[in-house]
Amino acid sequence: MQFGEEKAKELNLECCSEAEGGAGREGARFLLEKHGWRPLLKYCIYGTKENMSEEWQELCHKCLPQEQYAMWKPKGGVWTADTVMPWDLGVEN
């Protein structure tokens, strides 16, 4: 992670990642937040389908729903009051 963030700063790039929510404050989302990332979008994976086998149902019960987050960090890696969000940049940028 350190290498990627240093390279992004060097090249003046924004950063995007996906992170799982995890139980409590153990998930990747919280690690990224400690390094200045912010969640843009939360979505859940449920894994249900028609005619689920017993094994599939058991896995869904054990593993799901799983929270996922689209994470973002601005160019330069520092949030300010003037930080422009990705959806406000427009297609020309």
**pLDDT tens digits for range 18-30:** 998 766 566 888 8
CA-CA distance, 30 to 37, in Å (whole number)? 9
Cα–Cα nearest to 47, from 35, 34, 30, 59: 59
Q: The dihedral of CA 29, 88, 6, 81: what is its sign? A: negative
Note the pLDDT of residue 10. 92
Instruction: Name the residue among 16, 12, 37 with its Cα closest to residue 86.
Output: 16
pLDDT in tens, 37-73: 999 888 887 777 788 899 988 887 777 677 889 999 9
